[in-house]
Amino acid sequence: MTSTAQRLAAIRGDAPPKRHNARTIAALTGNPGCARRAVLDGAGVDKPRLAERIGFPARFGQSRFAITRGNAFEAQVKADGGVELLRLVARRLGVPVPERASWTDLGGADDLPDRHERSRRALTDVGPEAALFDHPLLGLDVAGQRVSLEPDLVAARLGGRFHVVEIKSFPVVDGQADPAKVSAAAVQSAVYVLALRELLAAEGHDEELVSHDVVLVCPRDFTNRPVASLLDVRKQLLVLRRQLDRMARLDDLLAVVPAGFTADPAADPAALAAALRTVEARYAPECLASCELAYFCRDEARGHTGALGRPVREALGGVGTVADVLALAAGERAPDPGQEEAAALLRAAAHLRADALAGDPA
């Protein structure tokens, strides 16, 4: 075992490394500047167990009802060998609906190496006709681990390219869906696009055969009738590649970690909390929806401008605490070097607020 591997093992404790999936990989892109998350994910720490151990359990995740509803909608959309799904996807891509298309079910409870091999052969040996691949198994390297990924569907040879198809149960009402859920679906889909591109490139194919346009299929309004939309995931792919490259450089990540640092969920809770505070975090309110340690980091960030969100932190660049913001706005202290512009904006905002409260039209 190398020294890097030994150190990662010491960080996570006796448990085997926690494996990623598409959701956790997608979450990595949400806060790429957070060293704490990058280190813990690089080491494969069981973050839900860690958060519970230190008294800040995670409070997000899909309900059992939502999972059941999603599975039922996916089964309905894929019924009859994907005939309706093929029509829906083709029309959304603006290509003629093929008269025939093959359907290959690559799911099941087979052992992973066998499923990976079947998926590799099916996706790289596809002929000239349209083809639909149900639950292919793809792979991606994350922090030295090979992660198995399972997109809902891959459509091949529609418009001459491969398209990832994501089936979600959240509704599209009057042509609009929940922006946060669409954004999450786009990042998760980008993970599948990247994995599929790497698979084709490894077999000597042009990775651009995999389109950056993902087909998102959701229920229309409050019915179960499916509607398809296109998501351009080029931006998400760029962020994802950068973060995965960073995760691959584990030695660089470990350079910010004090010697002896451990996040072993079996350790003493007070010692764990103290150790976590020695690795810098970049808390933002969005973390609450995607990171198991978000409530711990929010408590730690209380009174700091970062807790108010990235736009506020960036607008107040260099002013770290709410107390300093209020003091600068009131002119009660001189700005430190680099805080002059923020201080001027704060004083101007304070004057505007005072005028508004006084009813002064000027």
The 10s digit of each residue's pLDDT in 257-284 is: 898 899 998 899 999 999 999 998 888 8
Per-residue pLDDT at 253:
79
244, 1 Cβ separation under 8 angstroms: no
246 pLDDT band (50/70/90 cuts)? confident
For the chain, what are the domain ranges?
4-14+28-57+248-303, 64-240, 310-358
Cα-based angle 62, 197, 141 (whole degrees, multiple of 5):
65
Per-residue pLDDT at 33:
78
62 pLDDT band (50/70/90 cuts)? low
Nearest to 279 by CA among 32, 100, 34: 34
Between residues 166 and 345, which one has the greater pLDDT?
A: 166
Q: How far apart are CA 215 and CA 165, in angstroms?
A: 5
Between residues 326 and 298, which one has the greater pLDDT?
A: 298
Cα-based angle 344, 349, 354 (whole degrees, multiple of 5):
130
Backbone angles phi, psi at 57, to 5 degrees: -65, 150
Per-residue pLDDT at 282:
85
Averaged pLDDT of the chain: 86
Q: How far apart are CA 320 and CA 304, in angstroms?
A: 6
Q: What secondary structure does DSSP assign to 109-162, as a single string?
A: S--HHHHHHHHHHHHHS--SS-EEEES--EEEEETTEEEEE--SEEEEEETTEE
The 10s digit of each residue's pLDDT in 68-97 is: 888 889 989 998 888 899 999 999 999 999
The 10s digit of each residue's pLDDT in 150-194 is: 999 999 888 889 999 999 999 999 889 999 899 989 999 999 999
Per-residue pLDDT at 61:
62
Number of CB atoms found within 10 A of residue 355's CB: 12
Domain 64-240 matching CATH 3.90.320: the answer reads yes
Residue 91 CA from chain centroid, whole number: 29
The 10s digit of each residue's pLDDT in 201-233 is: 999 999 999 999 999 999 998 788 999 999 999
Between residues 109 and 300, which one has the greater pLDDT?
A: 300
Per-residue pLDDT at 59:
79
Q: How far apart are CA 201 and CA 223, in angstroms?
A: 40
- pTM comes to 0.77
pLDDT of residue 34 exceeding 90: no
Between residues 250 and 13, which one has the greater pLDDT?
A: 13
Mean pLDDT of all residues in 129-147: 87
Token readout for 110 is: 């087979």
Mean pLDDT of all residues in 40-57: 91
List of E strands, 173-289: 213-219, 226-232
Mean pLDDT of all residues in 89-110: 88
Number of CB atoms found within 10 A of residue 148's CB: 17
Classify 58 as helix, strand or coil. coil
What percent of the chain has pLDDT above 70?
A: 93
Q: How far apart are CA 46 and CA 263, in angstroms?
A: 9
Q: How far apart are CA 270 and CA 349, in angstroms?
A: 41
What percent of the chain has pLDDT above 90?
A: 41
Between residues 23 and 317, which one has the greater pLDDT?
A: 23
